[in-house]
Amino acid sequence: MTTKVDLAGPLRTSHLRAAHDPITVVVGPQVRERVAAGRAFLAKVLGDDRAVYGNTTGFGALVGYAGRADQRDQADNTLAHLGAGHGPDVDPGVVRATMLVRVWSLAQGSSGVSPHVIDALAAMLATTFVPAMPRLGSVGASGDLIPLAAAAQALRGRGYAYLDGTRMPAADALRLAGLEPLPLDGRDALALVNGTSLTTAATALALERVRTSHRVLQQLTCLLADLLGCDPQFLDPGLIGRYRHRGPIDVASAMRAVLHGAVPSGLRPLQEPYSIRCSPQLLGAAEDALRFVDGVVEADLGSVSDNPLFFPDDDRVVHGGNFFGQPAAFAADVLTMVIAQIGNLAERQLDLLVDPVRNGGLPPMLAAGPGQQHGLQGVQLASTALVTEIRRDAVPASMQSLPTNLHNQDVIPLGTQAALRALDQAGLLRLLAGSLALGLRQAVHVGARTPTAPGCTAMLDALAAAIPPVDPDRPLAADVRRAAEIMEGLSFL
């Protein structure tokens, strides 16, 4: 069933995820009325000879110069110089999510765009058409100008686009999709590029992926504790309650539910390593951080990111900085920190599990025949590489401001870099979770006790039903991905 997104209602991350495939964007009477009112007001303002950035002026540092008199030429004036992006194309699913964020913002009626722009974006999202958007070029200030300009040009039939996953000239993709090239004037063109929609979309999608892995690692920590026979007192409600932080209290409660019925073996040390004993504090602190990001994403998805904004009821054109992506920049950097520390936890838990000194006497690397076989040795090695990759990119982007544009943009947030990086790293975190899940499945095969908590039994049963034991050795990359997929499904139950 095709997802419907009503532009008169709230925009949610689930809509962005659904936009990976064709969706129905509903442009109802309420939306049409406010967009038409904004457009009529723009015509009035220009008729009054008022100065309007991007309509009567040049762009950025050249705002002090007059723009082109013909508004159709002014669209070219807006977009041509922004054709300077580099690097690989942004993932098509992220691009389509970006375009949904952009049309929702424009549909609020504060941007003065032509109604046909809203209709064209809605029509595009109903097909498999995807503008080819370069990854490099935005600084997250004055909008994601260069990536969004490439999208606007593709909608005009210039540059490149994807259709059904195939990259081709945009004019061909439009024709094959049954879409017409989009006519734009200066305000339409500027409104399409002058917002941080790529930053918002990437941050929202990254948050969703990290939240899923966060739930998975709570469950896998419980399964690890049960297989090793740990005493679950590290989750004691009285203990955690005295910690006072809301996230750890809630995470510990969820973990106690998974471990309910677990019976300690009595063979473990009085105090477990921090990767088990302090897991509710670590994962709980991550929960608190993710709640901050939740709020930023919710606000961003409900915001109008553009400049200037038009207020017909008050007869005002207001120039300002709603295209400045600082909130998402901070939020995406917080996501990166959460990813790095949760990734550290998963890698350390796997290391504990494969170490015969700490895993209760299971064979090294969980190999069914050590020496003749190597079990999880390759997976553990790859996990170290994944954590290193995450750490290498963990320097915050949001404080790397560099003046540009003749000091018109003298401070910049770099949220686009932060958001896309967080989205990349979320994929690596998923692989770390899958690696740990595979190790837990293998542990029972080589001598770990079967789970004693029903919640843990259900997890292991699902993993064992889909993934055979590593005996003899085999390539395990696909099994890591499969284990991650299985756990993600269980995390929503």
List, for residues 343-360, the tens digit of each pLDDT value. Answer: 999 999 999 999 999 999
CA within 13 Å, CB half, 171: 1
Cα–Cα dist 7/103, whole Å: 8
pTM of the predicted model as reported, rounded to 2 decimal places: 0.96
- Token output for 78: 């807006």
**Choice among 53, 160, 162, 274 that is catalytic:** 53
Q: What is the mean pLDDT of residues 100-115?
A: 97
How far is Cα 264 from Cα 413, in angstroms, rounded to an integer? 50
Specify whether 190 is located in the same domain as 276: no
Statement to judge: residues 158 and 244 lie in one domain: no
Whether 18 shows a pLDDT value over 60: the answer reads yes
Distances from the Cα of 284 to the Cα of 90, 217, 225, angstroms: 32, 12, 17
Mark whether 156 and 224 lie in a shared domain: no
Domain boundary residue, one of 195, 219, 238: 195
The answer on 439 and 376 residing in a single domain is: yes
Name residues whose C-beta falls within 8 Å of residue 178's C-beta, 6 or more positions apart in sequence. Answer: 127
493 confidence band (pLDDT: 50, 70, 90)? low
pLDDT given at position 49: 87
Using alpha carbons only, how large is the chain's radius of gyration in Å? Answer: 26
Element (H, E) at 458: helix 454-466
State mean pLDDT over 220-249: 97
Q: Identify the domain containing residue 386 by its residue range.
A: 202-491
Chain centroid to CA 490: how far? 21
Is the pLDDT confidence value at 405 over 80?
no
Q: Provide, rounded to the nearest whole percent, the portion of the chain with pLDDT above 90.
A: 87
For residues 344 and 263, membership in a common domain is answered with yes
Q: Is the pLDDT of residue 402 over 90?
A: no
Task: Check whether residue 155 and residue 206 sit in a common domain.
Answer: no
User: Which are the contacts of 265, defined by CB distance < 8 A and separation ≥ 6?
Assistant: 228, 229, 230, 360, 449
**Tens-digit pLDDT profile for residues 58-82:** 777 777 878 887 777 788 888 999 9
Over residues 264-285, the pLDDT tens digits come to 999 999 999 999 999 999 999 9
When the pLDDT of each residue in the chain is averaged and rounded to a whole number, the result is: 95
DSSP for 84-133, written as a single string = --EEEEPPHHHHHHHHHHHHHHHTTS-S---HHHHHHHHHHHTSS-EE--
pLDDT greater than 90 at residue 57: no
What pLDDT, on the 0 to 100 scale, is given for residue 492? 66
- Domain harbouring 62, CATH code: 1.10.275.10
184 & 229 share domain: no
Domain count, the chain: 2
Give residues with Cβ within 8 angstroms of 412, minimum separation 6. Answer: 139, 140, 141, 401, 402, 403, 404
The SS3 assignment for 11 reads: coil
Give burial (CB, 10 Å; 0-12/13-18/19+) of 300.
Answer: buried
Residues 276-334 pLDDT 10s: 999 999 999 999 999 999 999 999 999 999 999 999 999 999 999 999 999 999 999 99
Q: What tokens appear for 296 in the block? A: 């930023």
Express each pLDDT in 119-173 by its tens digit. Answer: 999 999 999 999 999 999 998 888 899 999 999 999 999 999 999 999 999 999 9
Show which of 195, 220, 255 is a domain's final residue: 195
Over residues 373-398, mean pLDDT: 95
Q: Which are the contacts of 264, defined by CB distance < 8 A and separation ≥ 6?
A: 229, 230, 231, 232
Final residue before a domain boundary, out of 179, 195, 211: 195
**249 with 289: CB under 8 angstroms?**
no
Mark whether 46 and 98 lie in a shared domain: yes
Instruction: Please tell me which residue, 103 or 74, carries the higher pLDDT value.
Output: 103
Alpha-helical regions (H) of 143-242: 145-155, 170-177, 186-193, 197-228, 237-241
- Does the annotation mark 65 as catalytic? no
Say whether both 147 and 237 belong to one domain.
no
Query: Do 191 and 206 sit in the same domain of this protein?
Result: no
What does the DSSP assignment read for 215-248? Answer: HHHHHHHHHHHHHHT--GGGG-HHHHHTT--HHH
Give yes or no: residues 172 and 231 share one domain.
no
If asked whether residues 208 and 190 sit together in one domain, one would say no
Q: How confident is residue 85, by pLDDT bands cut at 50, 70 and 90?
A: very high
Q: What value does the mean pLDDT take over residues 370-389?
A: 97
Q: What CATH number is associated with residue 282? A: 1.20.200.10
